[in-house]
Amino acid sequence: MVDPKICEQLISLARETQKNAYIPYSKFAVGAALITEDGDIFTGCNVENISYGLCNCGERTAIFSMVAKKGPTARIKHIAVTTAAEIACSPCGACRQVIQEFGPNCTVTYKSEEGFIDVKISQLLPGGFSDFVDSSGKVKSIQSGQ
């Protein structure tokens, strides 16, 4: 269930945080803000590097900041992503995988051609890489398309 007030707050915080983006190469500022299952809020922006492959997206900056502060059991309830360009822009594949890791049931808000939309991470990453060991610790097969 998406709380519209929280959603607005996350969008506003993401827009605020995108101002801190380090983007000398792409000039494309991204902000993210998330709320955890237990109500804490974290923000992030993209941080680029001259070695382009080391660029970190806004979403992952926010998530890693959450883990650094709250530890490995923290879970995302809702994450919003904004861009200074205010164009339609959904999270990249790498970020979808990381969002799934720490928020398998979470909602992702981002700008589509029709304005901001709220989408479950399971819709954004069908068939994503998932748990590959069963409860006894044995490696199991991962069904695609789930």
Contact residues toward ligand THU (CB under 6 A) are 23, 26, 28, 30, 46, 48, 55, 57-59, 91-92, 95
Cα 52 from chain centre: 20
Task: Report the DSSP beta bridge partners of residue 63.
Answer: none
Give the nearer residue to ligand THU in terms of CB position, either 17 or 36: 17
Radius of gyration of the chain (CA): 15
Which of 76, 74, 21, 65 has the alpha carbon at shortest distance from 43? 65
Give the nearer residue to ligand THU in terms of CB position, either 7 or 92: 92
Which stretches within 71-143 are classed as H helix? 93-102, 121-124
Provide φ and ψ at 71, rounded to 5°.
95, 175
The least CB distance from residue 55 to ligand THU, in Å, is 4
The least CB distance from residue 45 to ligand THU, in Å, is 8
Active-site hit among 16, 59, 86, 101: 59
The least CB distance from residue 135 to ligand THU, in Å, is 33
Give the nearer residue to ligand THU in terms of CB position, either 59 or 100: 59
Catalytic: 59?
A: yes
Give the count of beta carbons closer than 10 Å to the beta carbon of residue 25.
11
Q: What are the residue numbers of the active site?
A: 59
